[in-house]
């Protein structure tokens, strides 16, 4: 199995969690389809007043999964669901920085939920009408967000690997992680079975920053090339936008203001900090 991310879009139909008391959210009127559980926003959206849930990869027989190869820390959010399944007996491989940062990201989510002053009730997701959001059509697939104990137990079982280290899977397949240049610890994988070669390329970057540069040569000439997280606009060059963001940040700070940029810790921040 290549990567193991949950569908984070499944968080969108839930009433936002806030670390502060927010009467505006708490006083939203109920929706008649499920009073007390469904809330209606002034804009017409319908939100579920419940604890947060995620949708792990579906239609996977985990008993058939011998190994999971992780490319970066954003592709680990479904691991606790897979690894706690009693039918899963496989192994999980990722670089050590990827393991550490992935664990911190998931624990941060759990701690944020725990710090919220308003406790959410447990709701049977099968009772939510499908018109609220497409994820509620996946009856039985929606899972509650895990806790820190589950995260620690799962991540302790992950096997950390180094770049260019050859991982032998049962004497049949060799897997090698290569620097992807996307974030600290991110990796693309070369999978070899005899003379057959598969190159798996996930989020990657040729931008020179604090990460190791993307290794391209070892990925070349595969029998099969697997690509994920492709750019929706490959002809778009972010230089102008980045320059504009930097100018706004500089002018705001000079005027005594503060700047908050919601982003992945190794995404836009990496570019700004290296500029």
Mean pLDDT within 158-165: 95
Of 36-50, 86-100, 256-270, the least confident: 256-270
Give the neighbor-by-neighbor strand order of the sheet with 159-161. 67-69, 91-95, 159-161
**Rounded-to-integer distance, Cα 155 and Cα 151, Å:** 6
pLDDT interval class at 200 (50, 70, 90): very high
Task: Tell me the two tokens of residue 205.
Answer: 């970057």
The tens digit of pLDDT for each residue in 102-146 reads 999 899 888 887 777 666 777 888 888 888 888 888 777 788 888
* Rg of the chain on CA atoms, in Å: 21
pTM: 0.79
**Alpha-helix residue ranges (DSSP H) falling in 37-135:** 79-83, 96-115
Mean pLDDT within 77-84: 92
- Does the pLDDT of residue 100 top 80, yes or no? yes
**Rounded-to-integer distance, Cα 76 and Cα 104, Å:** 11
Secondary structure of residue 206 in the 3-state scheme: coil
Q: Parallel, antiparallel, or unpaired for β 46-48 and 38-40?
A: antiparallel
pLDDT interval class at 263 (50, 70, 90): low
**Rounded-to-integer distance, Cα 226 and Cα 240, Å:** 31
**Rounded-to-integer distance, Cα 98 and Cα 182, Å:** 11
Partners of residue 40 on adjacent β-strands: 46
The tens digit of pLDDT for each residue in 11-50 reads 888 888 776 777 777 788 888 888 888 888 888 888 888 8
- pLDDT top residue among 86 and 56: 86
Residue 267 CB-half CA count within 13 A: 9
- Does the pLDDT of residue 252 top 90, yes or no? yes
- Does the pLDDT of residue 221 top 90, yes or no? yes
Mean pLDDT within 69-74: 92
- pLDDT top residue among 229 and 119: 229
Contacts of 245 (CB under 8 A, 6+ apart): 261, 268, 272
Is the CB of residue 157 less than 8 Å from the CB of residue 99? no
pLDDT at 269: 46
- Does the pLDDT of residue 268 top 70, yes or no? no
């Amino acid at each position: 199995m290549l990567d193991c991310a949950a569908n984070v879009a499944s968080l969108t139909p839930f009433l936002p969690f806030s670390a502060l008391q927010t009467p505006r959210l708490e006083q939203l009127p109920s929706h008649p389809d499920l009073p007390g559980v469904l809330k209606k926003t002034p804009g017409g959206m319908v939100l579920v007043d419940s604890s947060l849930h995620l949708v792990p990869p579906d239609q996977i027989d985990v008993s058939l999964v011998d190994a999971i190869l992780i490319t970066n820390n954003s592709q680990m959010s479904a691991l606790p669901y897979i690894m706690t399944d009693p039918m899963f007996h496989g192994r999980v491989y990722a670089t050590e920085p990827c393991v550490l940062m992935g664990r911190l990201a998931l624990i941060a989510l759990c701690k944020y939920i725990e710090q919220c002053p308003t406790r959410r009730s447990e709701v049977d997701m099968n009772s939510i009408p499908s018109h609220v959001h497409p994820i509620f059509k996946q009856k039985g697939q929606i899972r509650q967000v895990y806790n820190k104990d589950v995260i620690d137990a799962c991540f302790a079982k992950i096997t950390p690997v180094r770049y260019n280290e050859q991982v032998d899977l049962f004497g049949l397949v060799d897997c090698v992680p290569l620097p992807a240049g996307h974030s600290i610890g991110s990796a693309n994988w070369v999978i070899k079975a005899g003379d057959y070669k598969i190159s798996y390329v996930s989020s990657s970057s040729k931008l020179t920053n604090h990460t190791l540069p993307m290794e391209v040569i070892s990925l070349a000439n595969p029998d099969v090339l697997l690509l994920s997280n492709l750019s929706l606009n490959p002809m778009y060059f972010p230089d102008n936008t980045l320059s504009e963001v930097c100018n706004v940040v500089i002018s705001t700070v000079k005027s005594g203001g503060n700047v908050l940029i919601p982003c992945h810790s190794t995404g836009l921040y990496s570019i700004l900090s290296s500029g």
